Chain A
């Protein structure tokens, strides 16, 4: 535990030093160095706890009523500390050269201050064992990530996105405050180990706490109907911040849900169904919108909504299976959901860092202005294609392993249950298949339009160079993806202590045995690919090779403007598979008469939930609140009267409550 505490202190100290120095380069060095030292320490401690299953704890007094500086690193917390430390390490390494250009015109000191504070706060959130400490860390995490999202605050869209994030995060925070107050009212103290009485709660109050936790934490996690801040905030933030937020910060929401579930009585089936169905809906919704975005980072942000949906589907279905008394199926589903958390941290890291490299090199986030980048940036392109394979759950990489476990649990439930009870898991199985096929559309489009073909813009034809440290970060994360893909049984053994804590079931060796053939299959696939590819390369040495232009149907002057764009690639999917309401809005493009004048056509895809439901709701609320304007007279005496009345009411209330002897 001392090692972890010193890691926290190093991170915190690094952030203060980074803030106090004047030069950007020095701040960058301090920031990177402190993460580089602290992250491996935290990761090492987490690894030890995961392997041994022995929790570590620490406690110190804290001068806040009800608060105590108590920390607990049990397997569940360690399960989250490990990806946080790995991803923050590589993001910091990547950020050095990535931010260097911005550092020439403004000081990077605040950036590194907030970056290190955010990493500290994330670690503190998952190891806090006191509700007040947890909420404080949670709030620091929100605020610091808000400032990181708003880094390019001279742009209006960035300010709007950051504002939306802050607003949504605090609505979630309100639910969490309520939840912890409610939970604390049943117990005597705010330490998590005082929360024992929660496990004996009647189902009604427990369900209320669960719902508050699900939606309060869900806002941060990107749970489907409350994910609205995510598609705007991720593109606005610098890429390594998006990677860290999408990879691990939003997972602290899932951590919160799991932590609260571990304190509540065993979950009834409907809790699980709610989570699983919201997850499945979010997966389908997220990937459908991801397939239509032209901003590459927005596309990745929607894919985050999809992946969070898959995790919640796994975890929720695990709860259902456990409630129905099928421990084997529950373990498969929980293992799939948990492993997907790690997998997503790795491959979404690769994808966001790669997107950052492309944005850095071309100066645009619009995929229609890219193209032909694989020829010009071969290594970034290769790593990005690797990440796309992993995120589309294709063999031999890691995405398939976690999705396979969830598929298997759904199919086993479908064959084990009787009659129509089996229909829902079976339909979810097919739905997950459709999500997988749509992910293939999304990511084949992403790499096909950005990396392949001809450059559609001069900026894409002459991209800037990418620094080696950025490549190393991406490469290391992708290597992790490959390792989980070919050695899944080892990864599952590593997660088994956390898994048994979440599932409240003993974990045997049969899970590892179940996934072993997948790893062997991945190895076999790679071997055959290498042999055939080698044979092919060898054949090329002996054959005549001619270079010519792409077949253009006989047209002699093809230009890059004629090439397929992101919109044209997605048009077939959006017009034939999706409901009208989810299609992108098209404006302009009307052509009439025999000699039409030139016209413009624009397409934009907006978030359905935000634009159709939440925005009108909040606008209506604001209108109602306008009617209370007469309370605000703008005169000092009136406000003094308000204060007097409020104090008097409070005094009377406290006297009345004291007279009744209540608390």
Chain B
């Protein structure tokens, strides 16, 4: 149990920033550049950790609660979810609801810390973030319900158990394919990637997630970046397990397979970011409504 917990956390804490490195490298290769080294995210985090703080005169403790909760939540949520074939260290009936609401908690504090600066740019980002989540959250719940319908339990560990392999070959394969698409879109919107949000945009007016953390600096910004990396890995773990439900039985090969799956996902995100432009802002809710309808359709298919 303890060993499993340590392995889980070690995988998460050590490899999460790597995903961003892979995405940046992929995008650079598409652009014909060599790009930053794979470990650039780690260097950035180390640099931010050594810096001082700059605070706005307007802010209160809520401003600092954002980064702290933003780091805590993915750490705890990761314990509920299996990493590939490695089972989740904590699992109980109904933990999928806690999983979703933990991320809601981090959203609440991210948004609150943005509003704490009193800047209208950050208010703009906050309003967009909470609005998109109104559509992304039900989609995620529907996706999890499809999985629940195919398994015999309501914990994430049973939802993402070894029965997925047979489910892919059965009638439910079509539904699984649909929710894989939905999950990928939810992953993109929740982690502020193109086509929903551009992490590298340089105009405050067009940002969503980046604009909410404009005023954070030094170690606080580092915590936010690290928390965002952890969140991407946790949500990616859901997708990777669904797409690659194989298991070998030996922990090391399972872990390696999981990491390879995540790397593949990062490359995929990089490819999407390279070949697509950002959606116009009013289009985003429309795409998300479409995604939600797709997930309901998958649910109907699996009930049939």
A residues near B (Cβ < 8 Å) are 371-372, 374-375, 378, 381, 385, 388-389, 392-395, 400, 404, 407-408, 411-412, 414-415, 419-420, 422-423, 426-427, 429-431, 433-434, 436-438, 440-441, 443-445, 447-449, 452-454, 514, 517-518, 521, 524-525, 528-529, 532-533, 536, 539-540, 543-553, 558, 560, 562-564, 568-573, 576-577
Contacts and interface: CB of A to CB of B under 8 A. Distances in A.
Contacts of B94: 404, 407-408, 411, 514
A564 B303 contact: no
Given A414-B148, A550-B58, A569-B127, 18 more contacts: A375-B60, A395-B98, A404-B94, A408-B93, A426-B303, A434-B135, A436-B104, A437-B130, A441-B130, A517-B95, A524-B76, A543-B53, A545-B52, A550-B117, A564-B115, A564-B123, A571-B127, A577-B131
A-B residue pairs, 6 tightest by C-beta: A564-B123, A544-B52, A453-B118, A448-B115, A517-B92, A437-B134
A423 B303 contact: yes
B198 interface: no
A290 B297 CA distance: 30
B108 A552 contact: no
Contacts of A395: 98, 101-102, 105
A529 B118 contact: no
Contacts of B54: 545-548
Nearest to B65: A533
A563 B118 contact: yes
B119 A394 contact: no
Contact of B303 (A374, A420, A437): A420
A121 to B, nearest CB: 38
B142 interface: yes
Given A414-B148, A423-B300, A437-B138, A546 B120 contact: no
B101 A429 contact: no
B166 interface: no
A576 B51 contact: no
Nearest to B107: A440
A434 B97 contact: no
16 contacts: A408-B94, A408-B154, A411-B154, A422-B149, A426-B303, A431-B138, A434-B134, A444-B130, A453-B118, A529-B69, A536-B223, A543-B219, A544-B52, A548-B55, A551-B121, A569-B126
Most chain-A Cβ atoms within 10 A of its Cβ — which of B94, B95, B214, B299?
Answer: B94
Contacts of B243: none
B130 A521 contact: no
A647 B55 CA distance: 83
B133 interface: yes
Contacts of A546: 52-55
A548 B57 contact: yes
B71 to A, nearest CB: 6
A437 B105 CA distance: 11
B285 A437 contact: no
B269 to A, nearest CB: 24
Nearest to A533: B68
A510 to B, nearest CB: 10
Nearest to B223: A536
Nearest to B93: A514
Contacts of A564: 115, 120, 122-124, 126-127
B72 A529 contact: yes
Interface in B29-65: 51-60, 62, 64-65
B95 to A, nearest CB: 7
A570 B126 CA distance: 10
B93 to A, nearest CB: 6
A411 B94 CA distance: 9
Contacts of A400: 98, 101
Contact of B115 (A444, A536, A540, A572): A444
A166 B285 CA distance: 42
Interface in B130-168: 130-131, 133-135, 137-138, 140-142, 145, 148-149, 152, 154
A632 B138 CA distance: 59
A368 to B, nearest CB: 12
A393 B138 contact: no
A568 B127 contact: yes
A577 B130 CA distance: 12
B195 interface: no
Given A452-B112, A553-B204, A521 B62 contact: no
B108 A394 contact: yes
B67 to A, nearest CB: 8
B127 A437 contact: no
Contacts of A551: 56, 117, 119, 121, 214-215
B128 interface: yes
B75 interface: yes
Nearest to B123: A564
B115 A553 contact: no
B51 A543 contact: yes
A536 B123 CA distance: 25
Given A395-B101, A412-B154, A434-B138, A529 B68 contact: yes
B105 A429 contact: no
B263 interface: no
B111 interface: yes
B261 to A, nearest CB: 27
Contact of A429 (B55, B118, B131, B141): B141
B257 interface: no
Given A414-B149, A415-B154, A429-B141, A532 B131 contact: no
Contacts of B245: none
A392 B108 contact: yes
A86 B79 CA distance: 38
A539 B219 contact: yes
A488 B152 CA distance: 25
B303 A419 contact: yes
Contacts of B95: 517
Given A437-B138, A577-B135, A545 B53 contact: yes
Nearest to A543: B52
Contacts of B67: 536
B101 A436 contact: yes
A448 B56 CA distance: 16
B282 interface: yes
B130 A440 contact: yes
Interface string B74-111: 01100000000000001011110110111011011001
B218 interface: yes
A440 B118 contact: no
Given A550-B215, A573-B127, A525 B76 contact: yes
B68 A532 contact: yes
Contacts of A407: 94, 97
B190 interface: no
Nearest to A577: B134
B117 A453 contact: yes
A337 to B, nearest CB: 16
B119 A552 contact: yes
B115 A452 contact: yes
A430 B138 contact: yes
B273 interface: no
A363 to B, nearest CB: 21
Contacts of B92: 517
Interface string B256-274: 0000000000000000000
B141 A374 contact: no
A433 B138 contact: yes
Contacts of B210: none
Nearest to A537: B64
B125 to A, nearest CB: 10
A433 B204 CA distance: 30
B303 A422 contact: yes
B75 A528 contact: yes
A518 to B, nearest CB: 7
Contacts of A577: 131, 134-135, 285
B202 to A, nearest CB: 12
Contacts of A571: 127
Contacts of B126: 444, 448, 564, 569
A531 to B, nearest CB: 9
